[in-house]
Amino acid sequence: MRKSSLNTAASSLSAKAMKTLPKVLVYFLFVSILTSGCQHKSDPGSILLSGQLTTPAEDRVHLYFIDTSGFTPVDSVKPKKNGEFSFSFTPDEPGFYLLKSGERQPATLVLHPGDSVFVTLTKNNISNISGGREAAQYGLFSANVQRALKRMDSLAMVIQQSRHSRDFLQIKKRADSTYASIFNNLRYDAVRFLMDYPAFLSQLLVINGKLRQAAFFEAYTDTAWFFYTDSTLRDHYPANRYVINHHKRVA
């Protein structure tokens, strides 16, 4: 009698378990999918690059990878009617990129895996960059260079318009002095950038930067700065293609 009761209870429990099993499986399957989705969403290697065109147009937005030997197309997208656009991709390593659309001022970007960067591309003014590990900081330096170039263009126009004036030599002398001041200020900014951001890959863009034909750092007179960038960057990016190429040049 006792044995029969135990068998009946066991059968009852088994039936309940069979009814509950599908619900348990569905629950664990749901948790697995949710966990997998969260992991994909927070992929540490993907870059989200989004932006805005201040004047909407039919032009596509093009993204190029700046290699040590040239430009390689990465992708292009058609912006929305309001000018918004976005790219999402997973790079092998930190690198330099160029974002361009039509006749707008292109933006040079320093992007790291996991970055989220927003760029405003304008038609006549300087592009605005925010976010990322170092994209925003280099964007500020690049914007200063663009402003300096605009000032130099204005000075050149003044000189051109004054070439038949009796005061031409004085005007030219003042313009030359202003040129020198603009360059020296940017050179100071470049030195500060190297000192303030020793772990930034964009050091390579700064140390190889120019204002028109005048280099911020000369290969022979500024060897100390080339050795400095080579040392600091190899500590942080020993296998990076840009750093390896820079090291060969310094050596």
Spell out the domain ranges in the chain.
1-42, 47-131, 137-250
Confidence band, pLDDT 50/70/90 cuts, at residue 138: very high
Give the model's pLDDT for residue 55: 79
Q: What is the pLDDT of residues 46-88, one digit of tens each?
A: 999 999 998 776 789 999 999 988 899 999 999 998 999 999 9
Q: What is the pLDDT of residues 30-44, one digit of tens each?
A: 434 334 444 434 567
Q: Considering only CA atoms, give the Rg of the chain.
A: 29
In sequence order, what are the residues at sequence separation of 6 or more whose Cβ sits closer than 8 angstroms to the Cβ of residue 219?
226
Give the model's pLDDT for residue 54: 86
CATH topology of domain 47-131: Immunoglobulin-like (2.60.40)
pTM of the model: 0.79
